[in-house]
């Protein structure tokens, strides 16, 4: 099976040895997105703003792959403070409608560049 690189200039450029996403067949594997503003490559301030920015970044990569957030089958959320769980749920509700993707929310000690949230996922295209 061949695989192809998916990228968008509407999401932050990769800051390491990875692609924004890889498409294999009708499945797209989304790399983790942290709340970097793609125009400045700087973190946005405040947890809610960071959650919004991560969803916007994921949305841009999904669209570059020919899909949308609604095509995400599995979403992983990494939080440096599980006390922000309710806020991330509320923000997620702005971006998704039922049926919601399968999801994990995991507490971690730290994330790149001091981000408070990171998300990755698996997108399945029709």
pLDDT tens across 2-36, in order? Answer: 899 999 999 999 988 999 999 999 999 999 999 99
The token duo for 34 is 């942290």
Superfamily of domain 3-124: RutC-like (3.30.1330.40)
Reported as a pLDDT band with limits 50, 70 and 90, residue 126 is confident
pTM (two decimals): 0.97
Q: How far apart are CA 53 and CA 72, in angstroms?
A: 17
Looking at the chain, which runs of residues are DSSP E strands?
3-6, 21-24, 27-33, 72-79, 102-107, 117-124
**Domain extent listing, the chain:** 3-124
Could you tell me the two tokens for 99? 């049926």
* Structural Rg of the chain based on CA atoms: 14
pLDDT of residue 1: 72
């Amino acid at each position: 099976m061949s695989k192809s690189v998916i990228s968008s200039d509407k999401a932050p450029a990769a800051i390491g040895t990875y692609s924004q996403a890889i498409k294999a067949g009708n499945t797209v594997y989304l790399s983790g997105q942290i709340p970097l503003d793609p125009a400045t490559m700087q973190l946005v301030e405040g947890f809610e703003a960071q959650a919004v920015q991560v969803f916007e970044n994921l949305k841009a990569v999904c669209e570059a792959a020919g899909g949308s957030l609604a095509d995400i089958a599995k979403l992983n959320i990494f939080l440096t403070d599980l006390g922000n769980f309710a806020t991330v749920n509320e923000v997620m509700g702005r971006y998704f409608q039922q049926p919601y993707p399968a999801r994990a929310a995991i507490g971690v000690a730290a994330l790149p560049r001091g981000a408070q949230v990171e998300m990755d996922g698996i997108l399945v295209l029709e």
